[in-house]
Structure 1
């Protein structure tokens, strides 16, 4: 297929001609230094080029016809808000389909990643509400499995994402922090230099200086940033530094070439999540070592539906015309609504559950309840409704609840294990949650346990259903609804 068709960009090398860059590092080069917002070189339409005169004997070349599939996917992708476009790209990084910078811009890499994911999973279109919810849930599940946590590094002041399941060893350095795998074959380090102590020029010279056992495979120097990748024997390395009023900050990743297939997407995720100079108020989220909190790598936290007011919550359609939620969602709410329809309370339970009746709601979910309680620190997925479907957030199990970055409107949200079995419902959401830069950081939330949910539904004549073989956390997303108290 001609990649120069209308509206598409050609596949480009990310390293200069004549130099070979390892494929797992190539995706991190130019784009990682570009602030979020503008389209990146490797994922945007190619600029128009002036036509070259054809030889006299040759017939004029016909313009290439547009690719209908590419154009349709582009239109659907660009119709989404920027935050959701970035969340999709981030999820595709974690599913192993996208090896580029999360920018929200559409191009050939994004199109190929969406196509590869759809073909591999055999599921719904990843851009329609149901398919998008499944993709986001799959990405969050993989991220949670890696225990990927974004937090401020106290030693350097930068925000850094760390896959803590792999990089389990943490050591303080004079100018940063080092994380290593148990066998020492993967290392991530942050480094910071106060103003006047180091310059990008000197760091660039050090990183690119000729050494007997090192081959520099790519180097890029910009006024306020640099990137260098290299090969040294069996090892691969990626270095990035950024300069600002606070000095120079950056990170280094080194890993064994034999681990490239496993570590590649983690390297991309770290680079996408790195913020050398975070805004004031965003630089001090809870420390992973102290609280074990989990946060998404680049995808935005779930947002409260814009059509709901304070006191709103989340419901799950469990039978035709029946919605399950936490009873705390309805406290002080005499007239709950689901979409344009009013809702009526049919039953409540001392465990903290309520069953509502409403018309014009989605089809019910095939709910499967988990019998045993989750283990401490087990990775879970919490679902909350968004404007066009379910949005997923990672969660860590703790005694009697979870720790998750859920936003207002998440009271009553279902929490699932990685197989899609219900672990419980968020029992209550704080009326005045703490915010950092306008976003609610991860917090500890109590759960109504799955056993209480099963008993309550059985008492209302709603039997548990066996999940489909192709189920998972995303299977419940289409049955999520927002409950408003107007």
Structure 2
């Protein structure tokens, strides 16, 4: 048996050798690499899921308020979106541990009251005031107790601490003077003794943080119809424990392009025992004054007195008016997403259609009608089956363009009860009716529509340049009463 075992390999080797003379051996089969097994997702954390369920059951305003309160108590360093994630969970646990409670990540009603009280005390101690900055056009939150010195700088305003160790600068650039790309490259450029600790670049805004041996900085810029606006906050590293939470509060309350600048521009009145509230009540409207009618939606002129809009615009609008003129509903599509109106005396040329799909994250813009004046121009980014943008009420039916000025689609719907911050809806995802659906609907309606060819790679334009040819075709749709 042992001899058999010993001789078998030699015999096979000899046979293979003699066979090799008679014929060419077949090439070896390619090695098959086993496909790696899919990673098994971790089991959900019961404590986290319980906390998330309880948090998400609260109204959105309450969720945002709790996150903002955690910022002021120094327990949370994220944005106040109202969404519950790991940072919110850990922030609540940190707060509970600091106050001697069991760190469940789930706030009880008494804990919510105590948290808000502590946050309000910190906010008042900082004399934090969200205010318009006429020099830059933005709305910014300023901790005036820390930054009492105020002075003008080119294109903005400077707030500074008494000892000069903390500085907050707002800054604006008119359309075409610079670009987000240039500002981002400048902010992230390598410099001796300076380390970039975080950088984020989106189609319509950038954020960069950096450190030196003695200081820290936070830079944020956003692009909009009026150009680029932003702020820079620099401070002594030794003050980080105090200033870090203020940086987050300033960032969360910064509005680069408010729809309307808040009227309050004077310093808030000090709180006294006789005056428990820091702000006087707003004056009632004068007798006989008519409230401004907001658009029910936005329409796009197609020529020949015809207007295209989203069907959702007409859900509560049986008698629509277009640019102040009486309008008639001609037809709707079978899916209930688009509507065609007609009105006399209207003329305008629509943009060329883009029927090919956009890629996620592609830079876009949205033109929304306003009650008075020219349409608003909002920078946007393509999202899955939609668009991510800071839109205003009346944006249902608003045309969505790519940066070459081609029509990508229409905003399908705007929420009935939006939450505005300083008059502006924060960036939100909206569904759109895509260009290929618009093209099919116009074809069925007998409306000619031009399809634009993709632009050359070097033909990219600015936000204002892409919007300018289409502004005259964007009209407000209102409801007759």
- Ranked by relative contact order (alpha carbons within 8 Å, sequence separation 6 or more), the top structure is 1
